[in-house]
Structure 1
Amino acid sequence: MNEAQTKQIQDIVQDIATDESISFDEAFAIAMGMLKFHADGMPKGRKAFGCGG
C-alpha cells in the first residue's frame, strides 16, 4: 500500500471511530471485518459486477 492509500484507510477508520464514539482500534476491527465480509462474497477468478469493463 502506498502512503495515499494508507491515509485513505486511516481517514475512513477515524470517521467510523468518531461517528460511533469508539476507539480507533475498535473502528479498525469493524472496518476490516466489513472488508473481509465483502471480499468473501466476491466472485472468485472474474470481475465483480459493476467493476468496469
Structure 2
Amino acid sequence: MSFSELRAYVVENCEDIEAIRFLMSKRDPNSPKYPMPMTEADMQAQMEIIRRKINGEL
C-alpha cells in the first residue's frame, strides 16, 4: 500500500488506531512541527497555514 493509499484508508477508517499509528510512524522527521493551538487566534493562524498548503502557496 502506498503512502497516499494508507492516508486515504486512515481518513475513511479513523477508528483503526493501528493504521493511524503506522501512518504517523512514516512521518517525515524534517517536516515542520506546529504547536497545539491554545487560543482562537492560534487556531485561525493554523487554519491559514493549512489553507495555503492545500492551495500550493507554501
**Range of TM-score over shorter length:** 0.3 to 0.5
Query: TM-score scaled by structure 1?
Result: 0.37
Query: TM-score scaled by structure 2?
Result: 0.35
